[in-house]
Structure 1
């Protein structure tokens, strides 16, 4: 078989594979251009040149996809690059070894786990749902246009708040690669991109909505869901903390729930007072299933209950309430406490708020006024809902336990 020929489409097609051997045929027109044929019959164009005493094979592309003219032009450009001191084969090797965004994200997750990042679960969810379009791209291939387009897409599909969280996550991952991993020549394509304008949310359960909310809650067939929503409202705790509540954190005698600093946003322990209604819910759960491990155990990887979106949606539909999020329950308790005349400092201590302006005030507060504030707030909620009178508690009608 000829080792050199004038490349034409027909002649290349006529080159037959040799069993057990990869053959090479050079082009008579363009120096350095050849076609390699595998034993299986796959054909690809290569540029072959000696660089610094070593023969380098630079793959141009499949013969079925790249025209002969393009292969010749590309070969000429590669030879010119080599003459200027560039080694295209070495550049390809570097690029092949370069991290993808998914590689960098995996390293970032390891760092976050080591530091105990509280919102890592949300970050991993955003990566899984919204960042797969750039996950397999090499870091050097990701441009600002990619991130800008991504931000607009998430804004349209999932909303302005979610899009901003995804943009912030992307920015943080790239900054980690630059500042912590010291990846050479890496720039942050998300840096400087404008976030969506976010309006401050002030949604709460209003006085007229309370009876409808509690009526719908009483008909919730799944006891875990009913108790979870109830405790979310009565404690004012963050969603993630209620989901991951453990019996070891609960002291029914002292009527407190201590959220450890490792789970708290401000990294300080939060002592949440447990009101009469909250104690009733917890005692019933302890009697029904014991008081070991998670308060809301689940069958998933976390071991506890996870985002109850379906049950929450059903509850709102039964109640005829719109635009209410789980986090709004936290705001609802604080709102009823304010209506009852409780000071912002006392509320802040029980909710675990942390700021330079209020930390000193919170530190001097005893637990008694905080516990009193929680009782006042939840009493106001239950009175508004019609399930509690001024001095007498009427038990919430229980739905059947979900099988």
Structure 2
């Protein structure tokens, strides 16, 4: 068998495999083009050239599906690329080892865990639910149009806010790949894409809703759900902090709950004042369950109560209240404090808000006015709910009954 022939369909079909040996036959019409025949009879087009003293084999494709004309045109292009200083074989080797989007996310998770990123769970959920279409793609294959299309689709299907969070995650991941992993020639396809405009949510429990809310809460048969929701309202703390509250953080004698920086969004300790009503709830729990470990223990992996979505839905249904989220309880306390004339700076200190501008103000405040603000806010809510007079606190009892 000659190692050089004029390629035709008939001649390529006539090439016979050689047992135990791979045979290479070159085309007389196109320099560098050859076909390799395996012992099993498979035939593949290659362009073979010497690049910087090394013989490189660039695969063109299966001879059963790629035409001779296409193979010759491709071989000519490869030779031109080599002449201009590009090594297609090296590019293919680089591409073969290039990260996929799922590889990048795995590295992102490692980095976030090392830094203790609190929103990592949400990132993982968004990746699992909304980014699987990108998971297997090579990073260089992900185009700006792909991300824009994804953002638009999510905006219509899942809401503008969630779409923004997913876009922000993709943008942050690519920036991480560029700046931290130093991935060569990587660009960020999400950079500069416009976020949806987000309207600030201003939902709160209004004074006319408070009696129905407290009546429904008193009727809740699960004491953990009842106390969790009550403390969320009375402290204005974030959901995750109330769920993970421990007795070691609670100081009843000082009327304080100190959330450690490791659990706080801004990494600083947050001292939450405990009003008289909040202390009564905690004292009742301590007597019933013992003041050890979690304030709201649970049987799941975390060891404490997880967000009681069913219990919350049950409460709203009993109260006939719509469009109220657990986080709105935090806003409710702040709004009642504002209504009572408490300054924004004092409120921000107790809520653990953190910014360069406001922290300077908060740092100069003593804790006493903050505690007074919490007492005023919770008193105002309980008065509006019809379960407290302005002069005394009346504890909430199951079934809607109040103690004298």
* TM-score (normalised: structure 1): 0.85
What corresponds to 1:122 in structure 2?
122
SS at match of 2:134: helix
* 2:254 is equivalent to residue 254 of structure 1: yes
What corresponds to 1:329 in structure 2?
329
Work out the CA distance in 2 between the residues paired with 1:105 and 1:59: 31
278 and 13 in structure 1: CA distance in 2 versus 1, 3 angstrom threshold: farther
What corresponds to 1:396 in structure 2?
397
Work out the CA distance in 1 between the residues paired with 2:223 and 2:65: 61
185 and 281 in structure 1: CA distance in 2 versus 1, 3 angstrom threshold: same
Deviation at 1:254, TM superposition (A): 1.9
What corresponds to 2:342 in structure 1?
342
**Further displaced range: 325-334 or 72-81:** 72-81
SS at match of 1:271: strand
What corresponds to 2:187 in structure 1?
187
17 and 197 in structure 1: CA distance in 2 versus 1, 3 angstrom threshold: farther
Gap regions ≥5 residues in structure 1: none
* 2:231 is equivalent to residue 227 of structure 1: no
Work out the CA distance in 2 between the residues paired with 1:265 and 1:365: 20
Write the deviation string for residues 209-244 of structure 1: whole angstroms up to 9, x where unpaired. Answer: 222323333344544333322221111011222222
What corresponds to 1:374 in structure 2?
374
Assess if the C-alpha contact under 8 Å between 1:387 and 1:396 holds in 2.
Answer: no
361 and 76 in structure 1: CA distance in 2 versus 1, 3 angstrom threshold: closer
Aligned residue pair count: 396
What corresponds to 2:211 in structure 1?
211
What corresponds to 1:34 in structure 2?
35
SS at match of 1:134: coil
Assess if the C-alpha contact under 8 Å between 1:51 and 1:87 holds in 2.
Answer: yes
Work out the CA distance in 2 between the residues paired with 1:166 and 1:261: 27
SS at match of 1:257: strand
**Further displaced range: 303-312 or 150-159:** 303-312
Assess if the C-alpha contact under 8 Å between 2:174 and 2:188 holds in 1.
Answer: yes
Gap regions ≥5 residues in structure 2: none
SS at match of 1:135: coil
Deviation at 1:90, TM superposition (A): 0.7
Q: How does 1:1-400 map to 2 (within 5 A)?
A: 6=7, 8=9, 21=20, 23-24=22-23, 26=25, 28=27, 31-37=32-38, 44-62=44-62, 66-67=66-67, 69-390=69-390, 391-397=392-398
SS at match of 2:398: coil
358 and 53 in structure 1: CA distance in 2 versus 1, 3 angstrom threshold: closer
Write the deviation string for residues 278-328 of structure 1: whole angstroms up to 9, x where unpaired. Answer: 223333433444333333344554443334444433433333322222221
274 and 172 in structure 1: CA distance in 2 versus 1, 3 angstrom threshold: same
Deviation at 1:255, TM superposition (A): 2.2
278 and 97 in structure 1: CA distance in 2 versus 1, 3 angstrom threshold: same
Assess if the C-alpha contact under 8 Å between 1:26 and 1:33 holds in 2.
Answer: yes
Work out the CA distance in 2 between the residues paired with 1:291 and 1:9: 88
Work out the CA distance in 2 between the residues paired with 1:44 and 1:382: 81
Assess if the C-alpha contact under 8 Å between 1:387 and 1:395 holds in 2.
Answer: yes
389 and 133 in structure 1: CA distance in 2 versus 1, 3 angstrom threshold: same
43 and 214 in structure 1: CA distance in 2 versus 1, 3 angstrom threshold: farther
Write the deviation string for residues 67-125 of structure 1: whole angstroms up to 9, x where unpaired. Answer: 55444433332233223332211101111222223323333333333333332332232
Work out the CA distance in 1 between the residues paired with 2:211 and 2:71: 75
285 and 182 in structure 1: CA distance in 2 versus 1, 3 angstrom threshold: same
Work out the CA distance in 2 between the residues paired with 1:90 and 1:109: 30
8 and 265 in structure 1: CA distance in 2 versus 1, 3 angstrom threshold: same
Question: Which has the higher Rg, Structure 1 or Structure 2?
Answer: 2
Deviation at 1:257, TM superposition (A): 0.9
Work out the CA distance in 1 between the residues paired with 2:12 and 2:218: 80
Work out the CA distance in 1 between the residues paired with 2:15 and 2:290: 78
Write the deviation string for residues 187-230 of structure 1: whole angstroms up to 9, x where unpaired. Answer: 22211111111112211111122223233333445443333222
290 and 44 in structure 1: CA distance in 2 versus 1, 3 angstrom threshold: farther
75 and 363 in structure 1: CA distance in 2 versus 1, 3 angstrom threshold: same
